[in-house]
Amino acid sequence: MDLLSFARGPALTFAMAIFVIGVLWRLIGVLSLPAWRDDSPPRKGAPPAWLSALQAILGKMIPHKTFLKEGMFTTVNGYVFHIGLAICVFAFAPHILFLKSLFGFDWPALPNGLIYAAGVITAGSLLAALVYRLANPVMKLISRGNDYISWTLTFLPVVTGLAASSHIGARYETLLALHILSICVFLIWFPFGKLMHAFLFVFSRGATGIRFGRRGAQL
């Protein structure tokens, strides 16, 4: 079995299985816990729980004005690489074909030139995020191995994808196999590291919103 067949076959299947097991384990494990009991009565004019949750989820997409200036770089840079990653993952024709093979439906792709541009910007933005993390004393102090592993495993599929599309460094099938293998490692790590925030941020923000909203805090 050659490297590409290994990557497309057993490696990818194994990684996806671990991803599904891990994500469902953590999500169902958290969501089926007993609800946090709040014995205090709801404050006057407190919005319904669903509205508080929604306000927190959407409202916290932009930092509070008190922290806006201070956190401008992390906010803008965060949006750049998140949107860039979304474009690369969901708008590139081969990726859409892969997702179609799993879910049974597809959608139109963007031209490759735009995807390559998004990939380069995303890689640059991720590098900037790493430099900021290392250069900022507070960020450096609170960073753990989990953060660096999550960064590395996000960065690798982007650079291997760019290398494969531009045939830099090795033969195309080798680069493609490395790209798929880097995604395999990403998928295996995803449920157990900070990458899981992609699913959990909705619930953690929502739960905080419900708790604060009931107590009359403005969200």
Partner 1 sequence: MKNVQSLGALMEERGVSRRAFLKYASYVASLMALPPAAAAAMAEGLAKARRQSVIWLSFQECTGCTESITRAHSPTLENLIFDFISLDYQEVLMAACGEAADAARHAAMADNKGKYIVVVEGSVPTKDGGIYSAIGGVSNLQMLQETVENAFAVVAVGSCASFGGIPKANPNPTGAVAISDLIGGKPLINISGCPPIPEAIVGSLSYILSFGKLPELDHLGRPKAFFGETIHDRCYRRPFYERGLFADSFDDDGARQGWCLYKVGCKGPVTYNACATLKWNGGVSFPIQSGHGCLGCSEPNFWDGGGFYRPLPTPLGATGTVLAGAAVAGAALGLGASHLARKHQKNYLAAPKSEED
Binding-site ranges for partner 1 (CB under 8 A): 1-2, 4-5, 8-10, 12-13, 16-18, 20-30, 32-34, 93-95, 97-98, 101-102, 108-113, 167, 172-173, 176
In sequence order, what are the residues at sequence separation of 6 or more whose Cβ sits closer than 8 angstroms to the Cβ of residue 68? 62, 75
Task: Name the minimum Å distance from CB 10 to partner 1.
Answer: 7
* Nearest to partner 1 of 14, 148 (CB atom): 14
- Give the gyration radius of the chain's Cα atoms: 20
User: Is 114 or 127 the residue whose CB approaches partner 1 more closely?
Assistant: 114
Compute the least distance from the CB of residue 149 to partner 1, in Å: 22
Least Cβ distance, residue 126 to partner 1 (angstroms): 23
CB of 132 to partner 1, least distance (A): 34
Q: One-letter amino acid identity for 46?
A: A
From residue 54, give the alpha-carbon distance in Å to each of 10, 38, 83, 206, 219. Answer: 40, 19, 21, 7, 10
Looking at the chain, the number of H-run helices and the number of E-run strands are 11, 0
Residue placing its CB nearer to partner 1 in the complex, 140 or 171: 171
**Alpha-carbon gap, residue 213 to 55, rounded angstroms:** 9
Using the minimum distance from each CB to partner 1, give the nearer residue, 47 or 94: 94
